[in-house]
Chain A
């Protein structure tokens, strides 16, 4: 799976197929309340299932504003 991290670095990671969004983001060390996840450019919920072929972007919700 191609994963774009909040700092824009790209990681290719082997994941169970399918994998729940929440499990993936916890595995990557993020708290679900502090990030959003987009699959192939569209926001998905934490209980959605991701496929190995999906491109995932993780967006950190910065504090302040």
Chain B
């Protein structure tokens, strides 16, 4: 049958004769287990090297939710660690207080850091903000992702500071990044499209890095499956309310029909970024009159939100 591969025949564009576990539709390559793992790890290493995400002597703290992306991030960084001169790794986990969801992922995070013998700290919304996300969202479910995003941003910064880190690594993957590009285009928010989370705080926050930004969600799932590290974890119950959910489905269909769509969105952002040369994100950064954190207005989003919780 045209376009298909029998179980006994070596597919075209294979690197070896071992059975393929992944077919990259964009390049046409079929990769066996070992070639796939090596390909993912070398692409992450190249992202780190090419963008100077980690430099000798860094203390990288991983924002470890225990879900698939941050789990894969930890595994890959631990694997690359010997090649990263004088770099230390640790992890912290945010417990937002989402009943029926976070319990499983926190358990998973706990097991992982024990296995890799990493220092692990916990930080919770009740500790930081006086209540769980479930309580804050009662009657405000449609705003879930906006509210959680503002609170999590603060929690991430506090967690990285408490860990004494020089870099904060998050598990954002290619799908996440492409969705963000598309969402900001849909919102008409060009400054936000170009603003990098690690560059908009005038050195006040610990820089964030996204080593998995060119690894697709599917590749991450395959990587975990091949390491026996895949866990059937629940999806966030509030995800159904998010614009991101709609964008995710739309992009999934486009990527399926037109392989490379997500990567092209990332390339578009890079090209716009190069042409704008920072001019669109040059609005002066101010400091919140209440908490002193960097923000674009007089009062930061977090302080405004706190008044409504």
* A residues apposed to B, CB below 8 Å: 18, 20, 31-34, 36, 38-39, 42-49, 51, 59, 61-65
Contact = CB atoms under 8 A, between A and B. Distances in A.
A44 B1 contact: no
Given A33-B252, A43-B225, A47-B3, 13 more contacts: A20-B3, A31-B252, A38-B225, A46-B23, A49-B1, A49-B4, A49-B5, A51-B7, A59-B230, A61-B221, A62-B232, A65-B68, A65-B69
A39 B23 CA distance: 15
B171 A65 contact: yes
A57 B39 CA distance: 25
13 contacts: A20-B4, A31-B252, A33-B256, A38-B225, A44-B7, A45-B11, A48-B4, A49-B4, A49-B6, A64-B236, A65-B67, A65-B69, A65-B233
B286 interface: no
Contacts of A49: 1, 4-7
B195 interface: no
Interface in B1-52: 1, 3-7, 11, 19-23, 25, 30
B236 A61 contact: no
B222 interface: yes
B222 A43 contact: yes
Given A33-B218, A49-B5, A62 B225 contact: no
B272 interface: no
B235 A63 contact: yes
Contacts of B69: 64-65
Given A64-B67, A65-B65, A48 B222 contact: no
A32 B255 CA distance: 10
Given A20-B4, A65-B70, A47 B256 contact: no
Interface of B: 1, 3-7, 11, 19-23, 25, 30, 65-71, 105, 171, 217-218, 221-222, 225-226, 230, 232-236, 239, 245, 248, 252-253, 255-256
A59 B21 CA distance: 14
A16 B248 CA distance: 32
A contact patch SS: mixed
Which of B20, B105, B226, B234 is most buried by chain A, counting CB atoms within 10 A of its CB?
B20
B230 A34 contact: no
Which of A38, A44, A48, A65 is most buried by chain B, counting CB atoms within 10 A of its CB?
A65
Contacts of B30: 45
Contacts of A18: 1, 6
A33 B255 contact: yes
A6 to B, nearest CB: 8
Contacts of B23: 45-47
Contacts of B235: 62-64
Contacts of B239: 63-64
A31 B253 CA distance: 7
B241 to A, nearest CB: 13
Contacts of B22: 43, 45
A59 B3 contact: no
B252 A36 contact: no
Nearest to B66: A65
B12 to A, nearest CB: 10
B221 A36 contact: yes
A23 to B, nearest CB: 9
